[in-house]
Every structure is written in structure tokens, then in C-alpha cells.
Amino acid sequence: MKPVIALVGRPNVGKSTLFNRLTRTRDAIVADFPGLTRDRQYGDGKLGERPYTVVDTGGIGESEEGIDRPMTDQARQAVGEADAVLFLVDGRAGLTAADEQVAMELRKLPKPVFLVVNKTDGLDPETAMADFYALGLTDLFPIAAAHGRGVRAMVGAVLEGFPDAEDEEAVPEDPDTVRVAVLGRPNVGKSTLINRILGEERVIVYDHAGTTRDSIEVPFTRQPKDGGDPRDYVLIDTAGIRRRGKVHETVEKFSVIKALQAVEAAQVVVLVVDARDGITDQDLHLIGYVLEAGRALVVAVNKWDGLEPDHRQWVKTELERRLHFVPWVKVHFISALHGTGVGDLFGYVERAWESAFLKLGSNALTRMLQDITHSHPPPRSGRFRAKLRYAHLGGSNPPTVVIHGNRTESLPNSYQRYLENRFRELLKIEGSPIRLELKSGD
Ligand code: GDP
Ligand code: GDP
């Protein structure tokens, strides 16, 4: 799994500057999603081939009353869930009382903490760091986040402590097993839905649930209604169906990190939203993570029972308005409590999964490309016109269409979107993003 790195530090020490630098290398999906608010607190990055997740914990307070506990609860939660902590200080401002308080708290953590001295541009690094040795942290790194100086070396040192993806024992995944995560804010009905699914008559739950870091993986088999072959699933549960007692219910904090890890571990995400609240900003953030990871997505609108017709209409209008940027996402109305619509949910999950793992030969895909470009050729750009010659499938989850040609870099975004939409239509991709990769031969 990707290591999670938390950034902690006073306001103005350069956390967002460093965050942006650390998350810049993420692969871009061809389509950008207008209307999707980005959460700039969580991001993925890579150093060489090594991926990681960065969390900006949002600063530590400096108010007088808060001086004993300068870290906010939110920062403390993120730090608690991270694998490594970067404690950022300002090499120009020097050491402050808040820095000392935070260092005291961080020193007690059973995880690596790196003291990162920022804004050392134009300073002698040793002099800039001298003050900060007093904090009692042993790993010090001088950087200049704004210019990138020292950042690679620092990240390299942080990642050194974690196993390489290749070193990790690769668990061979059954290619025919559908890995589905149930995601959503607290109290939307995730546990109720999961219990409902696993309690279905046509479902056999195997008794070897595995636990990964923060979620439970439950393997099960489901017999389709039409009498077809049974299908194997692994359900990735972040809600904790086997939650010990119900005491946590009211105090359960939503963990974005857990959600991100579940998205990473899944192929299809079922996002549960509460019909009583409609679709919230936090739901949209979750959708953003799912899209960034390229996973397939089904939205389950829960608690559809006992709602007034007016309210139902309001929910539908809201969904249409706020999900217009992902018109391919299937929205399904259910009542986990009464079981209504839960069986049908599998149809959507399955279709999304089939789309995500679509198989098609290069000849058929190239023919499609020719039809698409024939009916609407790439526009001229200056004296040149891009030529799209052939296509092949370059990957799954999301399905990736690799297009080879000449001067493909000159293709305007609007034409790329046209290609994407046409391929989506012709390949009958439902409930999954699709990615285009353009290669140029000259
Ligand atoms: P945050 O409040 O901790 O997120 O800090 P920001 O990233 O917003 O940075 C605060 C200020 O410090 C901004 O004006 C940045 O341009 C500046 N800054 C950040 N990194 C550096 C650096 O490496 N060198 C210098 N000289 N200024 C920096
Ligand atoms: P989680 O925190 O997302 O796992 O949510 P829970 O499954 O614990 O459900 C939170 C509350 O919503 C509980 O009181 C459930 O009984 C209730 N609930 C769940 N699904 C439904 C539903 O379909 N309809 C109604 N009316 N209530 C529901």
C-alpha cells in the first residue's frame, strides 16, 4: 500500500507550497471534470516509480489558549493515521514556542518524524538548521519548497523506510473476482447495506475475512437472479460491520485516509449517500478521489423509504445538477433498511466492473478509431493536422485506449473529449471512467 505522509506545521511555513510540489507528478486523466471541487488537502505523488499519498493536516493553532495543545483534532487524527510525519518549520523565522509544543507531541509517536526546515534558499543550510536541533528530532532536512531544493532528497529518505511495491509479496488476484468497496459519510447506512447484502439468500459468505490496515475484506459468492453462474466478490468494508458494539457510532470520525485506501484497494466503489441530505460537498470530494484513482463508480441513494414526493423530486434534481460532470455514473435508489433495490444494485456493480475490465483486440479498436475519425476528422492546427493511425487497449480499471499517430499533441481538448465520448458509446462503457493516451510517432 502507498505510504501516507502527513504535513504538520504552523501557518505560513510553506505547507501548501510543499504539498503542491509533492503532488504535482500525479497522472492526469484526459478529461478534466468541470464542476468538481478539488480537495487540496489530500493528494498523490510519485518519486520515480514510488507512489505515496500526502495529507496537509491544515496547520496548528497559535492562539494563547491553545498553546498546550496546538494541534487541532483534525491534525491529530491525520497524524495518527499517517505512516510518516513531515514537521515543517520556517528556517527564516526561527524556532517558536508552538514548534516546541508540537515537537514534544510528535516525539512520542511510534512512527518516523522528519523535521523539515523550509525557506533555506539564500541561507546557509547549517546555520538555518542550527536553532532547530533543540527540538530533539534527529532527522533534519533543509529544503526550499518554493524552488524545489532538497525536496527529492527528503522524500527519498522518507520513502526509504517503506518496502518497495515490488518487494511486497504479491498476492495473485483472481481476475474474475469483483472487488467492491462501500464508501460514504458516517450514518448514511453503509453497515446496514453491507449486512443486508451479506444476509441475502443468494449469497454465501466465506469465513475468512481478512483485515488490511483499516478495513475488513469479506469474500462472498452471489448467485445471480437469472440463474447464471455464481459470481465471486470481495467486499471492502470501511464502516466496520463487525464494529465492536455500537459505542463508536456517535463519535465516529470520518477518515478520508481510510476512504482513500479503500478506493485504492477496490475495483468498483459503491458510494452511499443519504437521501435525507441530498448530495453533499463531502460526497463530491469522495467522487473526486474515485475518479482520480480511475475506479468504477455506482452511487446508491439510501433511505429512499418514507420520503415525501417533493423531497424525492428535490433529491433527483440535486443529483442531476451536481453530477452533471459524470453523466456516465449510475444512480440507484435503495432502502438498505427494508432491502428495497439492494439486489438490483449488483446489476449496476457488475456492469461497471465489466466496463472497467473490458477486453477488445487492436483490430477492432483500430476500426472503431477509423470510423470515429472518418465521421469527424481531427481539426487542423496551423499548417498541420494530427493523424490518428491505430489504437490498442493499454490497461484496465480504468479502461485505457492508447491511440498512435502523428502530431497528436496538437489535438485540441474538445476533440479529445469527442474521442472519449465516442469510444465510451461504442465500447458501451457504463459506470467507469475511461482514459485516452495519445502517442505520437514523430
Ligand atoms: P502554509 O500556510 O504553511 O501552507 O504556507 P504557504 O505554502 O502558503 O507559504 C507561505 C509563504 O511562504 C508564501 O508566501 C510562500 O511563497 C512562502 N514560501 C514557501 N516556501 C518557500 C521557500 O522555500 N522559500 C521562500 N523564500 N518562501 C517560501
Ligand atoms: P453507517 O455509519 O454508514 O454504517 O450507517 P448505519 O448503517 O450505521 O446506519 C445509520 C442509521 O441509519 C441507522 O440508525 C440505520 O438504522 C439508519 N438507516 C440505514 N439505512 C436506512 C434506510 O434505508 N432507511 C432508513 N429510514 N434508515 C436507514
What ipTM describes this predicted complex? 0.83
Tens digit of each residue's pLDDT (9 = 90 or more) over 368-410: 999 999 999 999 877 888 899 999 999 999 999 999 999 888 8
Residue with cell 483472481: 174
Q: Is 221 annotated as a binding residue?
A: no
Nearest listed ligand to the Cα of residue 11: 1
Atom in ligand 1 nearest the alpha carbon of residue 10: 3
Distance CA 417, CA 425 (A): 12
135 Cβ contact partners less than 8 Å away, ≥ 6 residues apart: 95, 99, 100, 103, 115
* DSSP-assigned letter for residue 242: T
pLDDT reading at 71 higher than 80:
no
Q: Is 24 annotated as a binding residue?
A: no
CB 398 within 8 A of CB 356: yes
Name the residue with the closest Cα to ligand 2, atom 27.
Answer: 303
Question: Which residue, 243, 235, 233, is CA-closest to 187?
Answer: 243
Instruction: Read off the pLDDT band of 8 (50, 70, 90).
Output: very high
Mean pLDDT confidence for 223-250? 70
Instruction: Read off the pLDDT band of 31 (50, 70, 90).
Output: very low
pLDDT reading at 429 higher than 50:
yes
Tens digit of each residue's pLDDT (9 = 90 or more) over 121-180: 999 999 999 999 999 998 999 999 999 999 999 999 999 988 876 555 555 567 889 999
Pocket-testing residue among 7, 12, 17, 121, ligand 1, by greatest number of atoms within 8 A of Cβ: 17
Which of 60-64, 199-203, 265-269 has the highest average model confidence (pLDDT)? 265-269
| Whether residue 196 has its Cβ less than 6 Å from ligand 2 | no
Selected residue with higher pLDDT from 25 and 48: 48
Mean pLDDT confidence for 6-12? 91
Distance CA 24, CA 4 (A): 16
Tens digit of each residue's pLDDT (9 = 90 or more) over 268-326: 999 999 999 999 988 998 998 899 889 999 999 999 999 999 999 999 999 999 999 89
| Whether residue 182 has its Cβ less than 6 Å from ligand 2 | no
- C-alpha 192 to ligand 2 mean position (Å): 6
Structure confidence at residue 161 (pLDDT): 86
Tens digit of each residue's pLDDT (9 = 90 or more) over 418-427: 999 999 999 9
For 299, 359, 362, 402, the CA distances from 394, given in Å and listed in that order, are: 27, 10, 10, 6
Pocket-testing residue among 187, 308, 312, 315, ligand 2, by greatest number of atoms within 8 A of Cβ: 187
Tens digit of each residue's pLDDT (9 = 90 or more) over 232-244: 999 998 765 444 4
Helices marked H in 202-341:
256-265, 281-293, 309-322
Atom in ligand 1 nearest the alpha carbon of residue 19: 7
pLDDT reading at 416 higher than 70:
yes
Name 405's bridge partners.
Answer: 388, 440
Instruction: Read off the pLDDT band of 29 (50, 70, 90).
Output: very low
Structure confidence at residue 23 (pLDDT): 85
- C-alpha 117 to ligand 1 mean position (Å): 12
Q: Is 15 annotated as a binding residue?
A: yes
Q: Is 214 annotated as a binding residue?
A: no
Structure confidence at residue 151 (pLDDT): 96
What one-character-per-residue DSSP string does 307-320 give?
A: --HHHHHHHHHHHH
Nearest listed ligand to the Cα of residue 93: 1
Residue with cell 468541470: 34
* DSSP-assigned letter for residue 391: E
Residue with cell 477518515: 255
- C-alpha 66 to ligand 1 mean position (Å): 23
